[in-house]
Structure formats: C-alpha cells, structure tokens
Structure 1
Amino acid sequence: MEVTLSPADATDLPILAEINRLVYMREAISMIAFKNWPAETNMFNFFQSRIKQLMETPNAHIFKATSKTGEIVGFISCTLAHEKDGVEAGVEAGVKAPAPDPNGPTSKAMGQMEDIFNMEFIKGWAPVMESMKDLINGMKHYYLSTFVVTPEYQGKGIGSKLLRRCLEIADKDGLPTWLSALPGSHNLYLRFGFVDVEHKDVDLNKWDHHRFRGFGIYRQHSMMRQPK
C-alpha cells in the first residue's frame, strides 16, 4: 500500500491515540493491565497523554504514515538516549518499561491516571522488566518506543516502511537500536536484523486470579540491532 511518511505533530494526537488503542486493546496483557477492559475511553486518554509527552521529549522522532486519501494509518517513535540519560523504553500496553525514567513520557502519563490501571499487576510486573535495564544503561542508542499500524491496514507493508525510517536515522548516526517486543511483533523485528538479548515471562493466568480465560505465559523480548 502506498503511503507517505512525515513527522507527526500535536494536531495528529487524537488519531494517533485511537490507532494506539485499537492495536493494544487486542493484547492479552492489556486485559490485565487496564481496569474494566476494554476500557476504551481510559485507554484512549492514556495513549493520548503518553504520545503528547513523547512529542515533548527531546531527541524523539515520531513519523506518521498517511494514505493517498489523507488517512493516517500508522506511526512510529524512536528516541535518542545518551549515556547520561535514563531510558524511556517502550511500554507495551501500559506496562512499566525495562529502564523507566520517572520523567519520561510513559511514567508521566501513568502518574496522571493511576486509577485506570490494575496497579497490583503493574507493581508486580515492573520489577521483572526493571531487571533488564542494565542491558542498555550507559549506552548511547536509539529506543523504538511506539510502533503501530491500524489493524485493517496491517500486512500491507506500512509497518516495514515506518520501521525502515527509524532505522535509517540510527544507521546514519552509527548507533544501535533497542526495543521491547510484544509477542506478535517479534518475528518482524528478527527480519529487520534485531537479535534477542533477553526475555522475560509473566504468567497472566496468575494475574487473572486463575480464572483461565485463555491467558498463559506472556513473553516480552529485549532486542537490539547494530547499525548497518
């Protein structure tokens, strides 16, 4: 599908937040992390706040993909992190990231609306993800923190174009790119040269109080790609 890539701005916030919600509401981990799932309004407000904070973050690049008809169908964010900086890593479906920065976009957004989250789960899962922070502490790199394509347009090459755009920036600067991969996107990243560095598992049945609604082990990978 033919799309045009361009920087996103504040006027795009509602559309970007809705795309983010549509994608992440399908993730099993969202059903545990957010109260009263599907919690459409709460999820929308959270993602809008998070993207707004991200737009205000120094060294953050956010690109949108726009179709011929002018419809925004996806977006991606990659942020340059210096050695002295904390890592505002990608929080998939509201889960605290591998190396959380209390002043980062996700932490700020979560701090403004803790009441919409299952904080028992967040506090239980966060230390697990926190343990991966030493992998990238002290390393200058790019972090890919948000990458979504509207469900009806997935599988049409849009995601590949967005991902290539961020990787071109990292390659130009000669820096590695890191990310935390959701299970469904793991194979895509492998195709683009990312390698698994570490993974963490969470038993969602446990956090669902063993109601066995089809949940199981949920795995997130910390992945890295060297510049080309």
Structure 2
Amino acid sequence: MTMTETPSRSPPQTKTAFKVVPATVADADAIADISGDSFLDDSHTLLKAIWKGKDFHREGSKERFVSALSNPRFDILVARKGLEGEGEVIGFIMAVRHEYPNPDPEVEAARIAARDALTKRTENDLLPSPPAPIQASEGQVLTVKELEETTSGAMSHYCGLLMPRGAQCRVIYGCSVAPSYQGQGVGSALMKWVTDHADQDQVYSWVSSSMGAKGAYAKAGYVEVGRLELRLDDYAQGIKWKQEDGSEKEWGTYFWPYMRRDPK
C-alpha cells in the first residue's frame, strides 16, 4: 500500500486542463501504466524488479484496482485530460473509508473511544517505531524476501496504531500522476478530493507514502507520524544499481513515511 507521485523529470511549461471524475473498469490499463511509469525512478521498486520482473508493480496495480472497484467502501477517482468527454487518464487516486458509515451501536461506541484516543499529532509527537528489521543469521544473506517481510511488518504495526477497531478514517491506497503531467496540479487536485471529503465527514486520513511522494502529501496537509528506514544494499545480494550511462552505484537508504492529516 505504498503511494507515490514522483517529481516530474521535465515539467511542461503550460498546464493541461483536466477534470476529476470516478474511475471505471475501462481505466484499468491506464491506471496500471501510470502507476508503473510513476515508479520508474523509485529505488525500492527497481531493486525488487530485479527478482520479481520489471512489470511486477504495473501488474500489481492493475489487480488492486480491479479488486477495489467492486468494494463499495473504495473511492477511485481519475484525472481526465480536457474538461469535456472521455479524455486520456493522466492520474488517479484510490482511497477507502474505514469503519464508516456503520450504524452498529457497539461499533459506534468503540469508534468514539478510538477517536478520542487518537489525538492530533505533529512531527514532534511520533508513533512508536516499527519492529526492528529482520537480521541475517550466521552465513545467511538477506534477500528481497526479508525486505518484504520487514516492510509488511511495519505496515501491520502502523495499521494497528493508525486505525484500531472502531476508528473512522480514510486511507489513501494509491495516488499517481503520469510523469509527463506532473507538476501541473493533477496530484494536488486528486488529493484535495480525498481531504475535502474527509473534512466533510470530520474524519482523519492517512497514507503509507513512498519516499518520493512525501513532499506532495505534506503539501496536502499530511504530517509524518512514523517511518520505516532501511539500507537497500543490505538486501541487494551484492548487485549494484545500474544507471542509464552504464555506471553502477549503491542503492542507498530508503524510507517509508507514514503520514496523517486531521480534519479541518
């Protein structure tokens, strides 16, 4: 459930007119392509692609979209090029409503208790750290398997803290903009749809962001409340990051910020 809006490599000089509308099943391929293209420079995704295949992220995005489309708690919006007609999809966002609306009295009581316990947080009021990364035993080499187990453990940790039973919130599951349209306010407009509805419903929202998308979410009012940080070279089995010019470099450190926004 990692999200990103990567910085544009060469932002266009003029802004493109677009509209934000509900997605349809016909948008599956476009959403998969945008998601895949948005992660072309993401070191974590590129490292995993060495073993999982170059299209693993693209294919996974399509599967998640098709599954979410049948879930009534999901809101999936796309940005379409142009103000009229069925224009090209240039961005999307997926968000789910957690624990609401729910008329069950017991669940509602638990929700109120959870809401009262989840006070507003700032960057100086962080959630407890996630479990320590899995360590290699003697003679063992860490692989992408241990990387995925560590990131999944952090996700479970923060899910339990950010949305305990009864807590009402919106969770952003994905937000990407086609690289050639980044820097034109598309991502901001998609995020605004979610934050406006969260404000209307008076619920907080949160996201497990990619490293490259932290600035975009911060601009939308999200504050980092937790983080997982790993040295990717520990899981690369000696393989270096190949660059376009043929050179190689280390994968370096990658972090996953967990970010929350309270309603206005």
TM-score normalised to structure 1 length: 0.78
1:132-171 per-position Cα deviation (integer Å, ceiling 9, x unaligned): 2232223210001110000111001111111101111111
Conservation of the 8 A alpha-carbon contact between 2:45 and 2:57: no
Q: Which residue does the alignment assign to 2:234?
A: 206
Conservation of the 8 A alpha-carbon contact between 2:204 and 2:260: yes
The letter for the 2-side match of 1:207 is Y
Choose from 144, 151, 155 the match for 2:183: 155
Distance 2:150 2:89 in 1: 36
Conservation of the 8 A alpha-carbon contact between 1:77 and 1:145: yes
Give 1 or 2: higher helix fraction. 1
Q: Which residue does the alignment assign to 1:10?
A: 25
The letter for the 1-side match of 2:180 is E
SS of structure 1 residue aligned to 2:226 = strand
Choose from 119, 123, 126 the match for 2:152: 126
Aligned residues: 195
1:32-71 paired onto structure 2 within 5 Å: 32-36=47-51, 39-40=54-55, 42-68=56-82, 70-71=87-88
Cα distance change on mapping 1:20 and 1:79 into 2, 3 Å: same
Sequence identity percentage: 22
Choose from 21, 35, 56 the match for 1:20: 35
Report the CA distance between 1:124 and its aligned residue.
Answer: 3.6
Q: Which residue does the alignment assign to 2:257?
A: 221
Report the CA distance between 1:67 and its aligned residue.
Answer: 0.8
Cα distance change on mapping 1:185 and 1:8 into 2, 3 Å: same
- Worse-matched range after superposition: 212-221 or 73-82: 212-221
Unaligned runs of 5+ residues in structure 1 are 85-116
**Coordinate RMSD, CA, aligned:** 2.1
Report the CA distance between 1:125 and its aligned residue.
Answer: 2.8
The letter for the 2-side match of 1:34 is A
The letter for the 2-side match of 1:215 is W
- Worse-matched range after superposition: 56-65 or 128-137: 128-137
- Worse-matched range after superposition: 120-129 or 46-55: 120-129
Conservation of the 8 A alpha-carbon contact between 1:202 and 1:219: yes
Distance 2:189 2:215 in 1: 16
The question of 1:29 aligning with 2:44 is answered yes
Unaligned runs of 5+ residues in structure 2 are 1-15, 101-106, 108-142, 242-249
Conservation of the 8 A alpha-carbon contact between 2:231 and 2:253: yes
Choose from 66, 75, 79 the match for 2:96: 79
1:161-176 paired onto structure 2 within 5 Å: 161-176=189-204
Conservation of the 8 A alpha-carbon contact between 1:25 and 1:38: no
Conservation of the 8 A alpha-carbon contact between 2:231 and 2:254: yes
Distance 2:47 2:150 in 1: 12
Over alpha carbons, which structure has the higher Rg? 2
Conservation of the 8 A alpha-carbon contact between 2:225 and 2:259: yes
Distance 1:49 1:220 in 2: 22
Report the CA distance between 1:57 and its aligned residue.
Answer: 2.0
